[in-house]
Amino acid sequence: MVDFQLIRNFLQCDPDFESGATAFVPITYSFSNPLVASFVDGKIHILSAGTTVITATNGYESKSQTLVVSPAEVLIISISSTQTNPLCPGSQITFTANASSNAEPGAIYEWYINEVKSQQTGKTLTGNTFNNGAQIYCIITGGGSCYFEATKKSNTLKVDLLDANICNAIIPTAFSPNGDGINDTWKIPMLTGYPQSKMFIYNRSGVRIFETIGYEQPWNGSHEGKPLPAGVYYYVILLSPENRKMSGSVAILK
C-alpha cells in the first residue's frame, strides 16, 4: 500500500523537500511535467514554476498528487549616492538602497565593495575611506523572500575621487599686477605638475580673455597686451591627464 499525502503549494526558490510518500517496499516517482520538478537524492527538487502530477508507485500500487509551483517574484532594487561630483579623499559618501514594495520587512541588505562583503547592513552604506574607483552594489537576501536571482542585485556605482594634490592645491583668489614686484602675477604652483593642462579666463560678460596650455608663464592680468581693469574674473582649469575640471574666480586688485 502506498500512502501519499497531499502536497502543499511551493515557490520556485523553495529548497528540496521530502515527498511524504510511504510504503513497505521501495517507491519510485514519475512526473507528468519533468520541467517543473524531479526526484534528486531522495527528495523532490523544484526546477521551475508550473504544475506537475507526481506519481508514487511501489510496483503494485500507485498514487498521485499535484504539485503547484508559483514563480519567483521580480524584485526591483537600485542604489543611489550622495556623490554627484568628484570628491576629495576622506569625504563621506552615503549609498542608499531603494527596493520595490515586494521586498519583505525581514529582507537583509548586503553591501559589497569591490566584490567584498561589507560589515554594514541596512538600507544605507556610509563611509569616508572608499578608494578611488571602488565599485559598490547591494544584494537583498533573507526574509523568506523568493526572488529571481537576477533581480536581487542592484546596479553598481563607482566612487570618483580627486587626486589629493588637487584637493590640497591653493589657488589664490586675488593678485595685484601694479608693478610693485609683489603678487604681480597669478601664480598657481600646483599646475607645474600638469604641463598639458588647459586654462581659460573670462570676464563678467563671458568673453574669453586668456587661455593657455600649461602654465609656465603665470597670467599677468592683461588681455592682448593691455592691462585689465580691477574686478572679478572667472577661470576654468582642465587638468590632464586626469580629465578633471576646476573652476572659480580671481580678483584683480589695483
Residue 99 and residue 149 share a domain: yes
> Running along the chain, 254 residues long, what does each successive block of 10 average in pLDDT?
77 86 82 94 91 90 91 86 88 92 77 96 94 95 68 92 83 94 93 91 97 94 95 94 86 94
Tell me whether strands 124-127 and 3-4 are parallel, antiparallel or unpaired. Answer: unpaired
Residue 246 and residue 175 share a domain: yes
CA 192/CA 175 separation, integer angstroms = 19
Residue 171 and residue 231 share a domain: yes
27 phi/psi in degrees, rounded to 5: -110, 140
CA 206/CA 11 separation, integer angstroms = 64
- pTM score, two decimals? 0.60
Which CATH number goes with the domain that contains 212? 2.60.40
Cβ 234 vs Cβ 202: under 8 Å? yes
- Structural domains counted in the chain: 3
Predicted local confidence at residue 143, as pLDDT: 59
Residue 234 and residue 218 share a domain: yes
Which CATH number goes with the domain that contains 56? 2.60.40.1080
Residue 18 and residue 84 share a domain: no
Residue 81 and residue 53 share a domain: no
239 phi/psi in degrees, rounded to 5: -80, 140
Closest CA relative to residue 19, chosen from 46, 1, 47 = 46
Residue 82 and residue 49 share a domain: no
Residue 173 and residue 153 share a domain: no
Single-letter amino acid, residue 251? A
Residue 199 and residue 154 share a domain: no
> What are the grid coordinates assigned to 25, written together?
517496499
User: To the nearest 10°, the Cα dihedral for 93, 127, 168, 162?
Assistant: -50
CA 82/CA 198 separation, integer angstroms = 29
Predicted local confidence at residue 1, as pLDDT: 66
CA 55/CA 42 separation, integer angstroms = 15
User: Among the three residues 129, 158, 187, which one is the final residue of a domain in this structure?
Assistant: 158
Cβ 102 vs Cβ 75: under 8 Å? yes
What range does the domain containing 231 cover? 165-252
Predicted local confidence at residue 240, as pLDDT: 84
User: Among the three residues 158, 193, 223, which one is the final residue of a domain in this structure?
Assistant: 158
User: Among the three residues 158, 186, 220, which one is the final residue of a domain in this structure?
Assistant: 158
Residue 176 and residue 150 share a domain: no
Residue 181 and residue 114 share a domain: no
Residue 170 and residue 245 share a domain: yes
